[in-house]
Amino acid sequence: MNPDDYILIGKVVATFGLKGAVKVLTSGDILEVLQEPIHVYLNLPLSQNSIKPIKLEKFWKAANVFVFIMDGFSTIEEAEVIVGTKIYVRKDKIPLNSDDFFVYQLLGLYPKSNDILYKEFKVVEVMDNPAHPILRFIDDNKQEILIPFVNRFVGEVNIDNGFIEIFDWVDFDHN
């Protein structure tokens, strides 16, 4: 498995019912664009180098997790074995438009404002928030700046050139 070909979509956190379904805690909105059925890849907890392809038959949102029904899991006992397992999907199976990006691609981007690139800061985390994601920037001195990832504050996201446009960056940077 070449790690660059896959993206982590979640982790099995519990069983669901008695027929082999599992609860999966996910980050981001990748599942919303996937089409069923699709193959997912399980990183089995007992053997960290073992990746097993599994057909994801059906999934749905249930409270703060997704429920997965996967081929080969028909009892609660079979499902219990994979609790704690990380689940991946091949990047080439995720439909992206030309202006779309993965959350992980934002990490390491520099803020740019009024044609000035602030290389002392970079995105270190995209925090989930009920209203909207929050970009967490940290500089070389561990100063932290949090910026709502909304159109009012964020403009162009340019993965290829390594920056994310922040409107009025100087209003956030108090140095």
Q: What is the CATH classification number for the domain harbouring 75?
A: 2.40.30.60
Q: What is the CATH classification number for the domain harbouring 158?
A: 2.30.30.240
Tell me the pLDDT tens digit for each residue of 116-174.
999 999 999 988 788 888 999 999 889 999 999 999 999 999 999 999 999 988 888 76
> Can you tell me the distance from the alpha carbon of 43 to that of 67, in angstroms, rounded to the nearest whole number?
18
How many structural domains comprise the chain?
Answer: 2
Q: Is pLDDT of 85 > 80? A: yes
Domain assignment of residue 80, yes or no: yes
Domain assignment of residue 98, yes or no: no
Question: What does pTM read for this prediction?
Answer: 0.64
**SS3 state at 10:** strand
> Based on the domain organization, do 88 and 129 belong to the same domain?
no
Q: Which residue's structure tokens are 């749905």?
A: 60
Q: Which residue's structure tokens are 């990380």?
A: 86
Tally of CB atoms within 10 A around 62? 12
> Based on the domain organization, do 81 and 119 belong to the same domain?
no
User: Which of 93, 122, 148 represents a domain boundary (last residue)?
Assistant: 93
> Based on the domain organization, do 27 and 88 belong to the same domain?
yes
Q: Is pLDDT of 46 > 60? A: no
> Based on the domain organization, do 107 and 84 belong to the same domain?
no
User: Which of 63, 93, 123 represents a domain boundary (last residue)?
Assistant: 93
pLDDT confidence of residue 129: 81
Pair of tokens at residue 32: 């919303």
> Based on the domain organization, do 73 and 52 belong to the same domain?
yes
> Based on the domain organization, do 44 and 112 belong to the same domain?
no
> Based on the domain organization, do 124 and 75 belong to the same domain?
no
Tell me the pLDDT tens digit for each residue of 58-67.
988 887 788 9
Q: Are strands 65-70 and 51-62 parallel, antiparallel or unpaired?
A: antiparallel
pLDDT confidence of residue 86: 87
> Based on the domain organization, do 122 and 55 belong to the same domain?
no
> Based on the domain organization, do 82 and 124 belong to the same domain?
no
> Based on the domain organization, do 34 and 89 belong to the same domain?
yes
Mean pLDDT, range 113-117, rounded to an integer: 93
User: Which of 93, 127, 159 represents a domain boundary (last residue)?
Assistant: 93
pLDDT confidence of residue 53: 84
> Based on the domain organization, do 122 and 42 belong to the same domain?
no
Tell me the pLDDT tens digit for each residue of 19-35.
999 999 886 667 777 77
Domain residue limits at 76: 3-93
Sign of CA dihedral 60, 16, 56, 65: positive
Per the prediction, the chain carries an average pLDDT of 85
